Structure 1
Amino acid sequence: MMRAVNPTLDYPILQLLQKCKSFTMLKQVHAQMITTGLILHTYPISRILLVSSSLSPLSYTLAILSRAPNPSIFLHNTLISRLAQSNLVKAALSLYDEILADPDLRPNNHTYPSLFKAFAAHQWFKHGQALHAHVLKFIYPLHDNFVQASLLNFYSRCGRVDIARYFFDQIMEPDLATWNSILSAYARSSGVSFSADPHLLDENTSSSLEVLNLFGRMQRSLVEPSEVTLVTLITACAELGALSLGIWAHVYIIKNTLSLNHYIGTALITLYTNSGCLGFARQLFYQLPHTDIFCFNAMIRGLAVHGRGREALDLFETMNQEGLAPDDVTMLAVMCACSHVGLVDEGRRYFELMTSFYGLEPKIEHYGCLVDLLGRAGLVKEAEERILTMPMKPNAVLWRSLLGAARVHGNLETGEVALKNLVELEPETSGSYVLLSNMYSFVEKWDDAKRVRQLMKEQGLEKAPGSSLVEVDGAMHEFLAGDRSHPRARDVYLKLEEMNAKLQEHGHRARTREVLFDIEEEEKEGALSYHSERLAIAFALVATDSCTPVRIIKNLRVCVDCHSSTKLLSLIYGREIIVRDRTRFHHFHNGSCSCLDYW
């Protein structure tokens, strides 16, 4: 007759169970648990289920559970959690089905979190929605923070930030993991990139601003940030160019002796390159204790968008010498480096080397970079041929890039072909029509320009407004073209009048050929002077010290007139002006620009 025992953590057999390294040893311990009666108790069964799930066949583990004298919901939850962690999601779901089929069992708040975590990892959105319905059925009303946090994380991982935010707002006192989950949700929905789509840039900006707002709330709740929190925060700062807060995060890492690992290192490199501080980024890169492919990619990309093409290619060669194999992102950054400084032959060569030497199949993004490279260099017809002969269907980004090149180089025929394809792919996007209309305006084909504008009107499309962000004293200020809503609008427009007068004194003549409308020259000059970056510069000149660099982020490509006037303003006011537009950086200093007028 088996004797009853009082199972505790100190019981010798349980201690032996934790030392099991093989299935054979597990079976021996299992036999002892049976002969001593330990197997009759819930807690020892839960322990052997955990060990068995990693050492024995699944059938053996399930047999242990099925022979338990009281296969409670606790035991089922224990095994479901372990199976889900081991990526045996189908087995975990089968066990969950057993719970639903057993009238003596009912799912509880410990049943679901591990399943939601597994679904999030696989991004099984429909499965998760079905499971969410079960939560509402069995646990309603839902007041369990653990379940709410698991739902938040699931929807976050599946890209549904709106639903994730709903669950976050239901949690009274979020812990660090919950804060990290919602911050990461917004960071993932943003992503740091230079995009040809101004609408996407606006969405990214909104998501990154929400990360900063939430982090402020997190600080007020006295929850200390972790490395995960700081990476998310720095990434958002990089998207916004919020340099002051990004530097605060860097200082926090140093003061709290947190590890400057490659995750934080990569985020900081991106922050500094995206904020125009290329020197800081270089310094940090060479101080990192360990640099991996992600660090190199961030640094190469940073050099590329700052127009340091040759330096970017040199760093790429250094990476090769250190034995790091490039990936898709590396090659995209390398080709971007070639594009921004007109290294056409080198760009073509690296594109061919992707397949022939590095064994990487070019993706549509690489073809897009190649088209951009050729288009910038005036090789519009070759760019068009590349699009027409590529192995995958061209997307709107490629046709928009071709249209932009056709506009810059006055190739109306190619521009019309590009627009035709763009309208088929994205009939609701206004930017394509605006590019073609500007092209017609540039060559003074006003009737054609009006025809395109009429087509936009018929489609109910409006031009995306120009928007510029400028950081002053740690706060981000946004200006739209012609904006008068800023609290210091009066000061801004007074400074703008002064700027325009000084520009005229120094011989600046507004470049009005690309203004969209067939209006008088004086009106065109007025329209140009109210562009968003001009207002942002005026505000920065009013609100900052005369030695402080002016840093601006713009959602559209810098126009020719703003580019020429900003060069002159940097000379007139003795200020360094750094403008990040949708594709690259322009460093204006002492009357010249780092792009050397190639953009």
Structure 2
Amino acid sequence: MATAVHPAAALPATAAPSPPRPPPGRADLGHVPQLHAALIKSGELTASPKSFHSLLEAAADGASPAQLAYAVRLFRLGPRPPLSAPCYNVLMRAFLRAGHLEDALLLFVEMLDEASIWPDQHTVACALKSCSRMCSLDAGRGVQAYAVKRGLMVDRFVLSSLIHMYTSCGDVTAARVLFDAVDDKGVVIWNTIMAGYLKNGDWKEVVEMFKGMLEVGAPFDEVTLVSVATACARAGDSKLANWIGGYVEEKGMLRNWNLVTTLVDMYAKCGKLGEARRLFDRMQSRDVVAWSAMISGYTQADQCQEALALFSEMQVSEVEPNDVTMVSVLSACAVLGALETGKWVHSYIRKKHLPLTVALGTALVDFYAKCGCIDSAVEAFESMPVKNSWTWTALIKGMASNGRGREALELFSSMREASIEPTYVTFIGVLMACSHNCLVEEGCQHFDSMTQDYGIQPRIEHYGCVVDLLGRAGLIDEAYQFIRAMPIEPNTVIWRALLSSCALQKNVEVGEEALKQIISLDPSHSGDYILLSNIYASVGRWKDAAMIRREMKDRGIQKTPGCSLIELDGVVFEFFAEDSNHSQLREIYDKVEEMIDKIKMAGYVPNTADARLDVDECEKEVSVSHHSEKLAIAFGLMKLRPGTTIRLSKNLRVCTDCHSATKLISKVYNREIVVRDRNRFHHFKDGSCSCNDYW
């Protein structure tokens, strides 16, 4: 009935940060100058190349700029025997550790100019690593040319570095050519090419490559399994995911927290939340990646209340969320319409100065839009330092579904002026804006421009939007002919869009044909039968309406119950039509009765066509008064302060009776009421709705 989602209340006081620790394995460099002086005094520095190399290595092993500068001065100015390739390698590795990539590469070029020093395989590997991090493909090819000339291509370390360089620079094809040319592939080379495919988003290639490894008995290790498990998660390969999970447990690899975290993410993204949670609960130490993977799994599986509950546990555990965590939490809040929880998350993001990445900023825009707070969505949009097409699309769709179609179309124009290319999803938002605002001609122009101007082939969703556009405008015959002329086979989404329009326009004949087509594709969806039944009832054909309901019963099809969610003080409450499971049930129904009596005085007449048909006439009025949104609104009136906006979301389309009643409730009680139904938002205020009674 109600789920507590109080992340703010669970947040502990911020702990003082621990003092930074020196990197593991680093020597205490305070002794290096003394050692340097001792070697000079003894004469070892100039007499022994090994002593100089050891001193240089000790100096270069530090992490601070001052220590690196000392190593460079020693390399350039200190008394020493002739420099060798190992000395250059020491300094190149130090530059790489410090992020001085060009300096590392310049040392390699300097060696080429030295007649007496030949770069070895370690030098080449360092140079290639520098090219990889700089994404410098041309420089990498130059290093490869040297490796070929010197006969170093037989070295596995060089080959692995070269494959990594090509994949880092996006040339996976060249990396694969090199990989295929290696006869005796070790586990490092396998891991390198698989990591390259992973980085470039070729999930299926990683999965297929690993299956090939199993067939030929190629060696693999825990690093391999991390890559493959990650690819399984993205590709959704449940069968291989099960094999990997079983293998890891059988071989006792669960002590590797990085691998276990990856498995949690893999199971969650493959829809195996039970397995993911089992592993997650067994982890003795969970970092932010593990928590984020589990929360993301719940969110992606539409188990959003569980996601927020787990987020609350994360706060208690004193693991600080990062931007990835917050994307999933905001997505869960968006689905539930949990505005207060999401606003707390936004406040936390600002307080902790989390980077407003494109993904996080877009999640904020989407969250506010899906909670009906378009002005806040616009503010979040404008605060983002970088936006991509998905960010623009989120706001365009948000404006369209909130009844601000003209603004959505203006935003689309601004998007094009900003040279941001629209995606196929962008056009869904654009067509929705036209549909919800009865802009038939403009909508058809945008549909045509997809192919003509942007080269985007319309998908089934776009055709559905056009059918909805025509049908809502009363052009039922045109919508039907449009479906018949479609170049792709219409699916249930298309026919349902037509059936919904027939319900709005009370068109029995086309509605019957639409249901016939739907039943041939998906005979078990209750909403389709209900729509045709409502069409019959709206024109007074009660026997036909009852016949449809009997057909549903004979087929064993259960009506999807209406369900409305409302959030109060961080707690999400769930109401069903004619609910009988609430601790304050009597008070809620008393409030509903009071509410109905008041709006009747303002002119409300119950639309019993939206009532259950299995009750007599005198009970139909009571039936419509107990729809889930009326119960949720009554609860909001009871609990929220006077003047506070009531916000709720519903799993079905708002019926005609509830729409009429809510308009009057907003006027009588002087409340703004925001209802998100299956298709769009309705902003009720002063007796009017943002949809202009067009939904």
TM-score, normalised by the number of residues in structure 2:
0.74
Question: 1:380 and 1:95, CA in 2 relative to 1: closer, same or farther beyond 3 A?
Answer: closer
Aligned to 2:268: 156
> What amino acid is the match of 1:484?
S
Aligned residue pairs: how many?
555
Aligned to 1:237: 333
Query: 2: distance between equivalents of 1:505 and 1:61?
Result: 80
Q: Give the CA deviation at 1:233.
A: 0.8
> What amino acid is the match of 1:116?
A
Q: Give the CA deviation at 1:284.
A: 2.3
For the residue of structure 2 that corresponds to 1:469, the secondary structure is strand
Aligned to 2:666: 570
Aligned to 1:306: 402
Question: 1:284 and 1:452, CA in 2 relative to 1: closer, same or farther beyond 3 A?
Answer: same
Instruction: Write the mapping of 1:530-541 to structure 2, written as runs, cut at 5 A.
Output: 530-541=626-637
- Residue 230 of structure 2 is aligned with which of 108, 117, 121? 117
Question: 1:525 and 1:322, CA in 2 relative to 1: closer, same or farther beyond 3 A?
Answer: same
CA contact 2:179–2:193 (8 Å) conserved in 1: no
Aligned to 2:288: 176
Instruction: Write the mapping of 1:489-568 to structure 2, written as runs, cut at 5 A.
Output: 489-517=585-613, 519-568=615-664
CA contact 1:441–1:515 (8 Å) conserved in 2: no
- Residue 147 of structure 1 is aligned with which of 259, 284, 288? 259
The superposition leaves residues 107-151 of structure 1 with CA deviations (integer Å, 9 ceiling, x where unpaired) of: 6544422222234344444444444454455x1585543333232
- Residue 54 of structure 1 is aligned with which of 147, 164, 169? 164
CA contact 2:612–2:623 (8 Å) conserved in 1: no
Query: 1: distance between equivalents of 2:182 and 2:421?
Result: 47
CA contact 2:176–2:193 (8 Å) conserved in 1: no
CA contact 1:437–1:516 (8 Å) conserved in 2: no
Q: Does 1:580 align with 2:672?
A: no
CA contact 1:85–1:118 (8 Å) conserved in 2: no
Instruction: Write the mapping of 1:164-563 to structure 2, written as runs, cut at 5 A.
Output: 164-189=276-301, 204=302, 207-517=303-613, 519-563=615-659
Point out the more displaced range, 14-23 or 344-353: 14-23
> What amino acid is the match of 1:261?
T
> What amino acid is the match of 2:298?
Y
CA RMSD of aligned residues (A): 3.0
Q: Give the CA deviation at 1:177.
A: 1.2
CA contact 1:83–1:91 (8 Å) conserved in 2: no
- Structure 2 unaligned runs (5+)? 1-49, 62-85, 94-122, 129-139, 167-174, 198-204
Question: 1:265 and 1:91, CA in 2 relative to 1: closer, same or farther beyond 3 A?
Answer: closer
Query: 1: distance between equivalents of 2:232 and 2:655?
Result: 46
Aligned to 2:78: none
Query: 2: distance between equivalents of 1:533 and 1:304?
Result: 22
Point out the more displaced range, 56-65 or 19-28: 56-65
Query: 2: distance between equivalents of 1:316 and 1:559?
Result: 31
Aligned to 1:193: none
CA contact 1:371–1:402 (8 Å) conserved in 2: yes
CA contact 1:549–1:576 (8 Å) conserved in 2: yes
> What amino acid is the match of 1:23?
Q
Question: 1:292 and 1:53, CA in 2 relative to 1: closer, same or farther beyond 3 A?
Answer: closer
Query: 1: distance between equivalents of 2:624 and 2:295?
Result: 38
Point out the more displaced range, 110-119 or 421-430: 110-119
> What amino acid is the match of 2:354?
L
Q: Give the CA deviation at 1:61.
A: 7.0
Query: 1: distance between equivalents of 2:659 and 2:184?
Result: 74
For the residue of structure 2 that corresponds to 1:112, the secondary structure is helix
For the residue of structure 1 that corresponds to 2:506, the secondary structure is coil
Aligned to 2:685: 589
CA contact 2:525–2:557 (8 Å) conserved in 1: yes
Q: Does 1:83 align with 2:193?
A: yes
- Structure 1 unaligned runs (5+)? 40-44, 68-75, 190-203
CA contact 1:84–1:118 (8 Å) conserved in 2: no
Query: 2: distance between equivalents of 1:263 and 1:65?
Result: 42
- Residue 126 of structure 2 is aligned with which of 2, 12, 18? 18
Question: 1:55 and 1:318, CA in 2 relative to 1: closer, same or farther beyond 3 A?
Answer: closer
For the residue of structure 1 that corresponds to 2:372, the secondary structure is coil
Question: 1:54 and 1:273, CA in 2 relative to 1: closer, same or farther beyond 3 A?
Answer: closer
Query: 2: distance between equivalents of 1:594 and 1:135?
Result: 55
Q: Give the CA deviation at 1:546.
A: 0.5
CA contact 1:81–1:92 (8 Å) conserved in 2: no
